[in-house]
Amino acid sequence: MYRRTLMTICVLGLLGGCAKPDWSTEPPQKPVPCPELTKLSRLIGSWSGTAEWVYPTVEEMQAGMPEGAEDMPTSFKGGGKFTWALDGMFLFGESWHEMGPDERMHYMEFWTWDDKAKKYRTWSFTDWGQTGDGWAWFDAADGNTIQLKGTSVDADGSKHHGQGKMTFLDDGRYEWDWTERGPEGKMAFKGVSNRER
């Protein structure tokens, strides 16, 4: 008798819990962008800049090239634009940079705030078939530097792991660096981006 009563109570409790969900009569409320996202507003706008190889050096790259090959460029150009997307819930960037003579890579990226990790989540995609995801956060030391870390995958499945930073020099200029390791070994770049007026 005791067992039957206990089982009945358990079954009724489970059924009651499943049969009576707490449905609110209020419509769901759309969240508003969190304050951490608004810290990225200094990126909004159009940018252009130049970058240069740090590692391997241009001389090291040229030493490994076949006889008669064109000299490697010592710097390359790039540019892009950041806007808010989906009612300010994401930062959206569309950018490009030179990949060699008459060749460019175009890419897009999304940033949002991950409240559990207390960092920005990032995703990127290129017209060369690369996809990437990573994390970003403001350096607590100065509040002007964003630390970056992520992984990308080429169209052929090759993985790259990278990290770097962006440091705002003022409202119209930031410098950046990026170091990456993949099948080709270590590569490092640095550059400066300027807001277009």
In this prediction, residue 190 carries a pLDDT of 96
How much is the pTM?
A: 0.79
Cα separation values, 178 from 45, 108, 166, Å: 22, 17, 9
Who wins on pLDDT, 173 or 16?
173
Per-residue pLDDT tens digits for 109-149: 999 999 999 999 999 999 999 999 999 999 988 889 999 99
Q: Burial, 154: exposed, middle or buried (Cβ in 10 Å; 0-12, 13-18, 19+)?
A: middle
Cα separation values, 40 from 104, 122, 162, 165, 166, Å: 26, 13, 21, 14, 12
Give the residue among 122, 72, 123 at the shortest CA–CA distance from 98.
72
Domains of the chain: 35-62+74-188 (2.40.128.20)
Q: Cβ(79)–Cβ(49) under 8 Å?
A: yes
Alpha-carbon distance of 144 to 44, in angstroms, equals 15
157 pLDDT higher than 90: yes
In this prediction, residue 154 carries a pLDDT of 95
Mean pLDDT of the chain: 86
What H or E segment, with its residue span, contains residue 105? Answer: strand 103-114
What H or E segment, with its residue span, contains residue 32? Answer: none
Alpha-carbon distance of 195 to 82, in angstroms, equals 11
5 pLDDT higher than 70: no
15 pLDDT higher than 80: no
> Phi and psi for 33 in degrees, rounded to 5?
-55, 140
106 pLDDT higher than 50: yes
Per-residue pLDDT tens digits for 19-68: 455 666 788 888 888 899 999 999 999 999 999 989 987 777 777 677 76
